[in-house]
Structure 1
Amino acid sequence: MGLGSDLAKVENWDVDQSKGGKKKKEDDDSAEETGCWIKLRFIASCISSRSKVDNSVSATTTNYAESKSPNDASRDQPATAAVSSTTTSNAESSTSTSKLEEELKVSSRLRKFTFNDLKFATRNFRPESLLGEGGFGCVFKGWIEENGTAPVKPGTGLTVAVKTLNHDGLQGHKEWLAEVNYLGDLIHPNLVKLIGYCIEDDQRLLVYEFMPRGSLENHLFRRSLPLPWSIRMKIALGAARGLAFLHEEAEKPVIYRDFKTSNILLDADYNAKLSDFGLAKDGPEEGKTHVSTRVMGTYGYAAPEYVMTG
């Protein structure tokens, strides 16, 4: 019984081993088969991805090739268009410049400044440099070379008054042109001296000799020491001489049209000089004694006869 029982156990163990071996083999085969499928799927996926990439590259290349030709053609075309546009722009600029030159009858003695020259000369138009303000714009104190246009250190070189055009002011480009054209030609001890000008983009500036005593208005209507009668008479005679020069002595008569105390400037010795010719107008032509005009400038006293009959 013992031996038979043992043999039976051995047989059962062999059968179990055989079954186990078969099962293990089946598991191994299944694992191997699964591994193969995974590899195949991975390879297939790679091939598919590679195919998509190739197709994408091919499509991109094709699209690039298709779009390159028109672009290349357009690259060649705009070159001509750009030249044409530049030529048109230059032509317009040239026309604008020539038109401005026709309007601006600049005297050769006037200096032409750049905006940066005057910006540095007035220390960037700082409030401390402000001398006054009128219909044209603000006036700033500045310093430039004696015989040039470059800015210099404050207190050195030539002291000047720089008038800037206020784009929202009462006067504009037309008045600026009148100022340059008249004061550029007219020279007299009782007319303020115009040193130069600046015209750059929309900037319009004028550079005058500096008048240390300011305007007559400041001395008459502001809190300051009263002027003695001798000085008052000197100023009145100087202003009258300036008007007489414009009406009688200038090569072409000029009607000032803005005679007031704020436009009579005084130098260190209280010599009067007329300024602000923005409203000036040519006088009567040869052989004529009158010219038609209308009342201009600041409101003030006007003779009733003039108001009624002109």
Structure 2
Amino acid sequence: MEAFLEKFQHDLKVFSFEEIKSVTDDFNKNKLIGEGGFGKVYRGVVNSDSKGRIMAAFKRLGSNCGQGNLEFLKEILMFSHYRHENLITLLGYCDKNPEKILVYEHAAHGSLDVHLSSSTLTWTQRLEICLGAAKGLCYLHDPKETHQRIIHRDIKSSNILLDENWNC
């Protein structure tokens, strides 16, 4: 697996497990921001080559989540090649047995599903979010845009993440 991951080291930062433990306060429950099929997601501040210090989300593969090496590698393979303003950016990863952690840009407002029933979002913002999600999906689904067509298959409001400006 190390040989496979070596080809991504020019696009992605390889985080040490110790660095991730430090910025998440040893995966403190106060840093927990979500949980899904892959495992738990924590937040922490990291240094980015292009943006300085930024908030990041650390998606830690859970031992009991049913996913493993193959899903970890597929996510790195897919998200390391795709850059679009309406897609969360994969910043890097940690692969130190048994730990498998993906590091993404943090979406400050979390997922859309928690805001749909709130009056926080105006109808104009809701429409802009819909358009942003459509642009991101178009980028993934259109082989002229990406080198390979990606079919998402899990489009739902909990998978639409919103940044500090309410953009997805």
TM-score > 0.5 by shorter chain: yes
Q: Judge conservation of contact 1:122–1:140 (CA < 8 Å) in 2.
A: yes
Question: Could you tell me which of 100, 103, 111 is aligned with 1:215?
Answer: 111
- Where is the helix percentage greater, Structure 1 or Structure 2? 1
| CA shift digits 1:231-254 (9 cap, x unpaired) | 111111111101100111111111
Question: Could you tell me which of 45, 58, 70 is aligned with 1:174?
Answer: 70
- Whole-angstrom distance in 1 between the partners of 2:101 and 2:147: 26
Q: Which amino acid aligns with 1:209?
A: E
Q: What is the CA distance between 1:170 and its match in structure 2?
A: 3.5
User: Secondary structure at 2:59's aligned position in 1?
Assistant: strand
Where does 1:260-279 land on structure 2 (aligned, <5 Å)? Answer: 260-272=156-168
Residue 234 in structure 1 maps to residue 128 in structure 2: yes
User: Secondary structure at 1:157's aligned position in 2?
Assistant: strand
Where does 1:1-310 land on structure 2 (aligned, <5 Å)? Answer: 99-102=1-4, 106=8, 108-147=10-49, 157-220=53-116, 224-248=118-142, 249-272=145-168
| Larger relative contact order (Cα-Cα within 8 Å, sequence gap ≥ 6) | 2
- Whole-angstrom distance in 2 between the partners of 1:147 and 1:104: 19
Q: Which amino acid aligns with 2:123?
A: W
Q: What is the CA distance between 1:227 and its match in structure 2?
A: 2.0
Structure of larger gyration radius: 1
Q: Judge conservation of contact 1:104–1:177 (CA < 8 Å) in 2.
A: no
- Whole-angstrom distance in 2 between the partners of 1:187 and 1:103: 19
Count of residues in correspondence between the two structures: 165
Q: What is the CA distance between 1:104 and its match in structure 2?
A: 7.1
Q: Which amino acid aligns with 1:143?
A: V
Which 5+ residue runs of structure 2 have no aligned equivalent?
none
Q: What is the CA distance between 1:211 and its match in structure 2?
A: 0.8
User: Secondary structure at 2:41's aligned position in 1?
Assistant: strand
Say what the alpha-carbon RMSD is for the aligned residues: 1.9
Q: Which amino acid aligns with 1:242?
A: G
- Whole-angstrom distance in 2 between the partners of 1:172 and 1:185: 21
Q: What is the CA distance between 1:202 and its match in structure 2?
A: 1.1
- Whole-angstrom distance in 2 between the partners of 1:225 and 1:125: 33
- Where is the strand percentage greater, Structure 1 or Structure 2? 2
Q: Judge conservation of contact 1:234–1:271 (CA < 8 Å) in 2.
A: yes
Q: Which amino acid aligns with 2:42?
A: F
- Whole-angstrom distance in 2 between the partners of 1:244 and 1:141: 29
- Whole-angstrom distance in 1 between the partners of 2:137 and 2:101: 25
The alignment-based identity, stated in percent, is 39
- Whole-angstrom distance in 2 between the partners of 1:101 and 1:244: 32
